[in-house]
Structure 1
Amino acid sequence: MQAYQHYKAEDFLTDDLFIAWVYNRDAAAAAFWSDWMAQAHPNRAEALLAKDILEALNIPDAAVTEAALADETGQIIRRIRQPTHQKMPVLRRVWYVAAAVVLLLGVSWFVWRIPQKPLALMALLPTAQSGDGVVEQANRTSKPVRVTLPDGSTVRLQPNSRIQHVAGFGQQVRAVVLTGEAFFEVVPNPKVPFLVYARDVVTRVVGTSFTVKAYDENPQVTVAVRTGRVTVYSRKELEQHRNAAKPEVTGVVLTPNQQVVFNAKEEVFRKELVENPVFIAKDAASVSFDFDDVPLAEVFRRIEETYEIDIVYNEQLLQKCTLTASLTGLSLYEQLRLISKSLEGSYEVTDGKVLILATGCGE
């Protein structure tokens, strides 16, 4: 058990068991902390302060804006410099405490629970009830923040990014709305697909890991797959077919190390390989990339299986070609450049596949 008797307020604020108790998320946590608070611990006041702060950051009948928080923060600074004995209203005093913690701890990512579902979410998630609350999680720090969703899926939220989902997430639909950039690791659940709405595109998965990048200032939306398989749709086309008896919506299927870029102006998808392909195969670390007069077909097979990509080439023209070289430690694109050079040819990436452009084995 944690040495809670030595905790300060900031320690309680980051303790999962303590947070679960304050927000009534876990019966075991409630039993433990009710018993703990009933005892005469020397730092009980610190725990009470942390409890007040968490409750302030979760006020159910007020949606807090950044402007309001900034205003309260400014007032705290002024009050510190010019102390006063005037009493503050209870609600304002609560927010002073919350804003003070933001200043002292540098806490700049928040979880807001909004009573009513915003109109944007209403349009995106028609299966949810109109009275459902919304959970919004925003990262205002300079580093990525890890968020765990109710189904156990995790989101690595990048700076200046936020996600929203209904309070009943996972009951009928697993859907989030993303603004900014995030890396998702989704817990498999074939019965309840996972949807990411990001401006003009919708990404649908069952269980996989992938990155979605959709900043407001950038006209492009990018979806890149690390593991598994995802399908990316045009949100406009999905909405047009939503009420059809048998909707037929064409999506772009992505596999590991592939990505798609959607251009909002042209309304077209461009499928390609990710900028830095990574090893996907489980035994990739043991695969040798040192070749000594090895047939080119075997070289390509190892690369394809390691990165789970497709390499297209003229097997008849290159059937007698071999490679003697060490490709160990090189990136995929460096490996392809070296192979192409040995063939006195080139390569290009089209529709997420590698095309080898060579007519022979070179000199």
Structure 2
Amino acid sequence: MQDYRNFEPEELAIDPSFQRWKLFNDPTESEFWKTWMVQNPDKEELIDKAYQLLNTLNEVYAGLPADQALVSDREVQTEIQRLSQSIDSQAKPVAKWYQFAPLRYGMAASIVVMLGVFWQYATHPFSVKKGNVTYDDLVAQVSKPLLEVTNTTSTSRLINLPDGSTIALKPKGRISYPDGFPGTIREVYLVGEAFFEVHKDPAKPFYVYANGLVTKVLGTSFSVQTFETNRQVKVMVRTGKVSVFAGNQATVTQQKEDYKLGGIVLTPNQQIVFSPTDTRIIKSLVAQPALLEKPAQKQPFSFKRTPIAEVFATLEKAYGIRIVFDEEVMKACYLTASLEDEPLFEKLDLICNTINARYEQLDAHIIINSKGCESL
């Protein structure tokens, strides 16, 4: 349980529980926060400031173009500090501009990254009743006949679907699907673990149902794991894009009608873990991010007094992972190093140790925190 008494308004504004209460009036979260307010009456000002900041950030994000996931790093700094300080002074957010302190950059970047999460939640809300939705429950609701395959062996079993897609079903897994995929969508039902390589067909999207979570793709490769002990579902993307959303009937119907990727969108090297018992969904990077392509020659990770912005750009392109940092603060940072076969996180460890920085993961992004390199 979070100790919200020690939160700053900026931290509270990006907390998922607080967002679900204030933005979406979630009954469970509302009950929790009403109880918390009774127990912490001295924190009314904290709640008010966090709510003001959350509302303003919501408006800022809503005004961005649809294809703009993040503003520039410098704009991130300026916007968050400006909004936070204007709330403290009870001025309108457009009244003043403030210089952002470098030590607060990690928080600023985190807030803007998290904007994408609650904005996706606002446009595609996760309305899920607590409880377990089993494979048998899902299959029982299907009116058309289904083919079922069970892997009773000790190795993966390859399943060739009628549309040209393939499934590598892990031991003890079961999967059901209609013969021939009639209609305008392709649907499969899974319990256990499987790796999917889906034949691309934008006019006929592909859905995987597992324990209350729906994974929707147009053509890509990814894996889905369902865990019998705690009913969690994990989706990990290798290539392309997938979207995930909770499998209540209203949301599924909406997703089937638009033939687009909605919900929370995952790209290569990203994953989510979904728990239907407490409606939590956590987005992060996979444990071992892989290169997007296996080049004929080794990836050029050799740097000689290379500006750190170029170093991070090289890593972003190679792994498809967004690296958020303050380019102005780190403009004097350079790297001389040869990084070849190390995993991504070891590369980041070496880089950050060299330039006296540190990094953290947030919403499948890498956030770099640094005071600059003037003294190095």
Q: Structure 2 length normalisation: TM-score?
A: 0.59
CA 1:337/1:285 → structure 2, altered by over 3 Å: closer, same or farther?
same
Q: Aligned-pair distance for 1:343?
A: 2.1
Deviations 1:167-219 (Å, cap 9, x if unpaired)?
24254321100101111000000110000001110000000000111122233
Residue in structure 2 matched with residue 211 of structure 1 by the alignment: 223
Q: How far apart in 2 are the matches of 1:245 and 1:167?
A: 19
CA 1:224/1:145 → structure 2, altered by over 3 Å: closer, same or farther?
same
Deviations 1:203-246 (Å, cap 9, x if unpaired)?
0000000011112223321111000011000112x446738998
Equivalent runs, 1:103-252 vs 2, <5 Å: 120-123=138-141, 125=142, 130=143, 132-236=144-248, 238-239=249-250, 242=253, 251-252=263-264
CA 1:144/1:256 → structure 2, altered by over 3 Å: closer, same or farther?
same
Equivalent runs, 1:248-287 vs 2, <5 Å: 251-281=263-293, 283=295, 285-287=297-299
Q: How far apart in 1 are the matches of 2:357 and 2:256?
A: 51
Aligned length: 239
- The answer to whether the Cα contact below 8 Å between 1:150 and 1:170 also exists between their aligned partners in 2 is no
Tell me whether 1:292 sits opposite 2:304 in the alignment. Answer: yes
- The answer to whether the Cα contact below 8 Å between 1:221 and 1:263 also exists between their aligned partners in 2 is yes
Q: Aligned-pair distance for 1:332?
A: 0.4
Q: Aligned-pair distance for 1:341?
A: 1.0
Q: Aligned-pair distance for 1:338?
A: 0.9
Q: With CA pairs under 8 Å and 6+ residues apart, which has the higher RCO, 1 or 2?
A: 2
- 3-state SS, counterpart of residue 368 of structure 2: strand
> 1:355 corresponds to which letter in structure 2?
I
Deviations 1:299-338 (Å, cap 9, x if unpaired)?
1111100111100000001112111112111000001111
CA 1:244/1:188 → structure 2, altered by over 3 Å: closer, same or farther?
closer
Residue in structure 1 matched with residue 325 of structure 2 by the alignment: 313
Deviations 1:245-301 (Å, cap 9, x if unpaired)?
989996111011000111222202111001111110464844311211111111111
CA 1:244/1:332 → structure 2, altered by over 3 Å: closer, same or farther?
closer
Unaligned runs of 5+ residues in structure 2 are 1-135
- 3-state SS, counterpart of residue 188 of structure 1: coil
- 3-state SS, counterpart of residue 353 of structure 2: helix
Structure having the higher Rg: 1
- 3-state SS, counterpart of residue 163 of structure 1: strand
Q: How far apart in 2 are the matches of 1:244 and 1:259?
A: 20
Q: Structure 1 length normalisation: TM-score?
A: 0.61
Q: How far apart in 2 are the matches of 1:202 and 1:241?
A: 8
Q: How far apart in 1 are the matches of 2:261 and 2:298?
A: 41
Unaligned runs of 5+ residues in structure 1 are 1-117
CA 1:176/1:291 → structure 2, altered by over 3 Å: closer, same or farther?
same
Percent identical among aligned pairs is: 41
RMSD of aligned Cα (Å): 2.5
> 2:253 corresponds to which letter in structure 1?
R
